[in-house]
Amino acid sequence: MPTLDQAMLAKAQSAPEDIVLQDPSGAILRGQLAVAAYAASQKLRQATQAERVGVCLPSIKEYAIAVYAVLLAGKTVVPINFLLQPKELGHVVKDAGLDLIITSNHFADALAPLGVNLIKIEDVGAELAQADLSAVKPAPAPDANEIAVVLYTSGTTALPKGVQLSHGNILAQGEMVAKAIDLNDFHVLSALPLFHTFALTVCCFLPTFTQIRASLLPRFNPSDVLEAFPKFGANTFVGVPSMHRMLARVAAKNSKRASDIGLTLAIAGGERLPPEVYDEYQELLGLELVEGYGMTEHAPIIALNPIGKARQGFAGQVLPGVEARVVDPQGNELGQGQEGELEVRSPSVMQGYLHTSEQPFHGDGWLKTGDLALLEDGGWIKITGRLKELIISAGKNIHP
């Protein structure tokens, strides 16, 4: 299996004039992305000897330039959540060993107190005239097992943990998603932040080595989303359930149905899809809302409802290549229809948390999700709750 930068470069060399990403400021072609990232990678090599480099940017096409600049320099990407509190932000910088962050003028002042060097993405373009696609080379001698990204989970009761994802973990997502969805006419519009695992994988990485095209909005505004579909020619929208609900309501106020704006596929994730949102979406937009399920530790997609065959209340069917099982508190596998902790195993399971002995693995490569679930024939998953919220009394599971 190649590395991410090798896969990106191969796609760029085969179709350099194809649009890979676009945002309100314009589009970037595959060849332009490779050249820009390579030029920026030369700066990074001179600017830091650290193993990891932070990226703190809004959801713009230049995010991909920054990410691939880090990878082409032979380093690991650390996407930074710009919504973190100063204490959490300081923890991420210290835990990841960052001394350099790629950012923009917008975030520079907020990052200044961290005491790390900053490279502004606005300054990257100066060297582009000096490079061409034939000069772009992948990072020397990495392999697919090398860590590509460290994504910090948002901690509610503890400091964020660094999830280590390899090149192979993310590339495997592309292979599994391509078996579940026809990507030949898949143009996704997203207003999710790119430090979010789903947006990073589906809207930044996958477009660079699959047929997916992505259009990005720096922030979510339902009116802007409605206007963006015909402007960009997108046909798919991804977001959390609340975003879909707001979009449907604003569309209805403007007498718009999904067919009026070119929307043919809508995917909801990040949390369980409430039945009332599913029903309202279908009523107002005339389109099925497809629920998916995943987690940062799986890069992230685990299951997705089949398009046109969704089952309301189910997180979906496991992607091709994903194994799933449900276990009791002692780790014994349970049968179909029995509630227990969901465990998954696949080529996308993370390499472990950074700098901690606490690892969520069980047995031979099984990832403990922390979610309670029921499994049905055909790999259907129904999430019923969180393990930490479960009360066990007299051997029975009681939901508070």
Lowest mean per-residue pLDDT among 74-78, 136-140, 247-251? 136-140
The pLDDT score that the predictor gives to residue 127 is: 52
The pLDDT score that the predictor gives to residue 353 is: 96
Half-sphere exposure of 6 (CA within 13 A, CB side): 14
Query: CB neighbours of 395 closer than 8 A, spacing ≥ 6?
Result: none
* Angle at alpha carbon of residue 120, lines to 125 and 209, rounded to 5°: 60
Do the beta carbons of residue 216 and residue 224 sit within 8 Å? no
Extract the tokens encoding 283.
């009523």
Q: Decide if pLDDT at 216 tops 70.
A: yes
Q: Decide if pLDDT at 358 tops 90.
A: no
The pLDDT score that the predictor gives to residue 134 is: 85
Do the beta carbons of residue 314 and residue 302 sit within 8 Å? no
**Residue 37, phi then psi, degrees to nearest 5:** -65, -40
Extract the tokens encoding 251.
């569309």
The pLDDT score that the predictor gives to residue 138 is: 87
What does each C-alpha distance from 4 to 47, 64, 68, 159, 195 come to in angstroms?
Answer: 22, 12, 8, 29, 17
Q: Distance between CA 114 and CA 118 in Å, rounded?
A: 10
For the stretch 123-170, pLDDT in tens is 875 555 456 888 888 888 678 999 999 999 975 557 899 999 999 999
Do the beta carbons of residue 353 and residue 346 sit within 8 Å? no
For the stretch 261-306, pLDDT in tens is 999 999 999 999 999 999 999 999 999 999 999 999 999 999 999 9
Q: Distance between CA 34 and CA 118 in Å, rounded?
A: 22
pLDDT-based confidence at residue 200 (cuts at 50, 70, 90): very high
For the stretch 122-136, pLDDT in tens is 887 555 545 688 888
Q: Decide if pLDDT at 396 tops 50.
A: no
Do the beta carbons of residue 11 and residue 78 sit within 8 Å? no
Q: For residue 69, give the nearest of 81, 93, 53, 50 by alpha carbon.
A: 53
Query: CB neighbours of 175 closer than 8 A, spacing ≥ 6?
Result: 321
> Which domains are present in the chain?
4-170 (3.40.50.12780)
Share of the chain above pLDDT 90, in %: 84
Long-range contacts of 391-396, Cβ-Cβ distance < 8 Å, separation of 24 or more? 392/329
